[in-house]
Amino acid sequence: MTVFVEQLNLGGHGPRVAIKDTIDVAGFPTKAGCRALEAAAPAAASAEVVERLLDAGYHLEGKTTLHELAFGTTGINHWAGTPLNPRFPAHVPGGSSSGSAAAVAGGQVPVALGTDTGGSIRIPAACCGVFGLKPTFGRVSRKGVMPAESSLDCVGPLAADMDALIDCMRVIAPGFGALPPIEGVSIGLVQVQAIAPIREAVEAAIRRSGLAHGPLSLDRFVQAYDAGLVVINAETWAACGELVATGLVGEDVAKRLVAASRTTPADLEAAEAVRAAFTAEVDAALRKFPVLALPTMADAPPLLEAAADTSKLVGMTSLVRPFNLSGHPAISIPLPSVQGFPISLQLVAAKNDDELLCAVARHIAHQINQD
């Protein structure tokens, strides 16, 4: 199973951790799963999140593979390697933080760092049946993380359980405090399109939580998804577009980058207007319900054999990408499934309410495990 692109043996005797290969580790190149970066110079310094983990005694096991340039949803990478989905081997591991999710699901590490620009932590977490948190935008440092400039991207943990995830957040997010009580917290069940087994599993998990809940509509949800694509296209082209000319970028990612190059200033201006309106809509919903709930994915992950062209599978992120645009924290929680494919619950909270989000997620996970 291809998980680590670089074996490491760094740090203390604390929890083992894996690092996505878009995050700098001093002395090792950051290749982002791309042959065009094969000759990249070793990083002169570690990313701030890596330094925090090392200072806290974590043991860095390795840098993990990913969907090339973190610009894909399936995790398939023919150059750097595609990790097997340990729990659902017929299905893709999810992208772009595929190796980090697989390392956790396969038991190599209890926690790993990924990055999430359009679902790249939550999607692989959902595909591999682990927990994955996209923190509030700006809550966790991106210093030393590729791409250097982004209005969407967040560094966050994937973990085997909520306690490991919370412990990691306390290290990488300065000021991450004690979890608040959840008594009186209500959940807004966002009405979205999803297949029946997923919708039913999500609703059952919310009922099982014992927390008050009610239905909720977000009228600009689909618009926010489309706008999120416009923004990621513009920013990824600005960061990585020059690599296309090398001829060394994988076909699926090169195709997406060329399409991204056609994003116009007018497209971006319209997307930013949607960002403002959708953010205000989510903020208003969170004043009514402190936590929102919806599936992480609307359908089963694609089978490996049907997932060769990621450019046709961007819709895997239909339920997660809007919250990159708005910047709200969001977490994926694996749910029991008898369907033969993974099912995952997504929770969303107000900006900088990451502690409340984790408290509710831990409670729901505990209730599920009581069954």
Active site residues: 20, 96, 120
What does the block give as tokens for 22?
């878009």
Is the separation of the CB atoms in 244 and 257 below 8 Å? yes
Peptide linkage before 326 cis (omega within 30 of 0): no
Is the separation of the CB atoms in 334 and 126 below 8 Å? yes
